[in-house]
Structure 1
Amino acid sequence: MYRESLIGRITLIAGIVFIALSLRSPLAAVGPLANAIQQSTALSHGAVGMITTLPLLCFGFLSMLTPLFTRRWGIEGALGMSLGLITIGIAVRSLVPVAALFGGTLLLGVGIALGNVLLPSLVKRDFPHRKGWMTSLYSSLMGLGAAIAAGVSVPIAEDLGLGWRYALGIWAVIAVIGIIFWIPQLKHHTRPDRSVRIRKSLKTLGRSRLAWEISLFMGLQSFLFYVVLAWLPEILISQGMNPNEAGWMLSLSQAFGVLGTIILPVYAEKRPDQRGIVWGVCLMELVSIAGFLIPGTTFVPLWAVLIGFSLGCSFGLALLFMVMRTWDSETTTGLSGMSQSVGYLVAAAGPALFGALHDWFDSWSPPLILLLVVAALQLLFGLGAGQDKTISAGSGGEDSQ
């Protein structure tokens, strides 16, 4: 249900806004700065890919444990902890030692993992009649944060002469503002219904084919998203673009991703079956990935728009599946944790594997072909997740129409 007063509702939504902006901007800032980080630290492509992979490993291993945090500190307290860890992690990774780069990344990964899982639960609980709109709002803001970070990181580092460390560290400001807006929410300290047992819920979800299809759709979508986030500028630089232009192409793709996450959940919520939408979204992904295999930069803006829009649509769709395919907020938390845990463990292989394949073949073509295979598999699992079925924690793992 909504907070009681107008001010309460405004601060709740403002808090959600800044949490969402904080969940992708620290990650999107890395890709455009990858070349500068390599030159400064002498890290390999695979090692730089690990800067994006580490948070994904956190997402994968911690997502299933999020209900333990909510039982102790409540949804509000766990989200406050999320913002605190993101702030500290960003600050630490901006320090000089290379070890701090990875250690800080690990901390902010833990914080983002909590936010990833709990925002769908918060929307399910507090906005039951506006879940499509609220999913569009926060998922599009995640994309907006990524778009801004991707576009301005190189100018901050090079044009302003502040260096890549400052360009990574500035995103802590958004998380700090989020903490200020979130402080009033901490007094609510709402815990989930203790009658729902975590082990039983996860066991039930583990027997659900639908839950696994949603999880794998989420994972393969995230695999593609984080590879694009980490490596698109480097691919474009190898095709003749300068780093600033390449960073703005990533920003362009992220901006159209925002458009996709705004439009698609609201549209898809009105349809009980989303399989036709899955077909359209995944075909756009396949076409755009194939486009990056074409030499030259003439059509790069088109491919950037298509890959950004389609990945934004598929991300919004994955989040909406978590809300639409469950009966209550507790089950949504369980499904969100499962799908993001399984999904991000799949996605974690993406950036480092993509970079390692480039090091191995000295070409971007084999890694891009791998992305075509991943997009085809995403289509397969998306067709299952898009069916008009529902799973409840008390259903014994059986999916019902």
Structure 2
Amino acid sequence: MGGGGSALRVCADHRGGINWLSLSPDGQRLLTGSEDGTARLWSTADGTCCALLQGHESYVTFCQLEDEAAFTCSADCTIRKWDVLTGQCLQVFRGHTSIVNRILVANNQLFSSSYDRTARAWSVDRGQVAREFRGHRNCVLTLAYTRAACVEEAAAGGLLVTGSTDGTAKVWQVASGCCHQTLRGHTGAVLCLVLDAPGRTAFTGSTDATVRAWDILSGQQLRVFREHQGSVICLECSRAAGTPARAPSTPSPERCGGCSAATPSSSTASRCTARCSTPLRTTARCASGTSAASRRRAPPPPSAASRASSATRWAAPPPRPCSRPDARPARRDPDPGPRGQRPARRACGSPAGTPRHSQGLQPPPRAPEVPGSQVFC
């Protein structure tokens, strides 16, 4: 441990910088997109180039490798689908009017984001635009998609999350193209985003050097991570080792009883929200202000020792002594004494809240004031 590693294989056939890498689901092939306008398929076993994907008229910005097809997008405003065995271009997706930044293949749909301030959903089979998402005020950089996990989302066709250089992320209903939520809080461009395993919490990274967690159903910002000193350009989210993802239809043991009670855990809060009819109001308490656990079991009655401790703690404070070091109890004799001396004021310590006149005492008359001799208790 600690020494420098050695390269296992070198794939050096590109003539320009490599902008993106994508590994096949079985791990046997690697797809690369380059500044030279081409994409290449490589064998991870021996590092040989299996196919050269040529056809783009400008540099390749992003690529994604699936089992039976490869997808690339380019600064030439197009997206292309390729045969992974022959390297032949199967489909060209045209419609964006500027650089295509990202693509995402999910649920038999192709999603794309572009500098033209839009995101689009395409039919993979027909190569046509199925839905257009407009609303960002600047270019759309990054994408994430979550499938339906409840009746409302099933009707919406799932949710698409987009991040933009306008400093916001937006949550879209795929079926209707409507903006479901706008996630506001970043003070810089949103460069990357990722969803957690249940798909209800989004994490966004920005040029403002923060990472923020969001509930995508309610639009609430859950927390902010502020330790970076520069732009956050990439994010990855994973489950704890050995913890399988919960099926969307499986009831959660942490599911709340008809309200938005949830623990501070983002995954728990998101699962709770997805199954409740009311939106998430807080990640720590129910809308009524008490947690579900506290409603199920009442706290035990306090012991005698704790009651005595509480009585002592909340008892009225003792009388505060006079701050004058030579204070003496006030004389009842109204005689002011020799000239130049003032009688001492009544010592502090009358019962709290009892006015002086209710004790049957009258304040002593004031002695003639002598300059420089006034001392107060």
Question: TM (normalized to structure 1)?
Answer: 0.23
Q: Which has the higher helix share?
A: 1
Q: Which has the higher strand share?
A: 2
Question: TM (normalized to structure 2)?
Answer: 0.24
Higher relative contact order (CA 8 A, sep 6+): 1
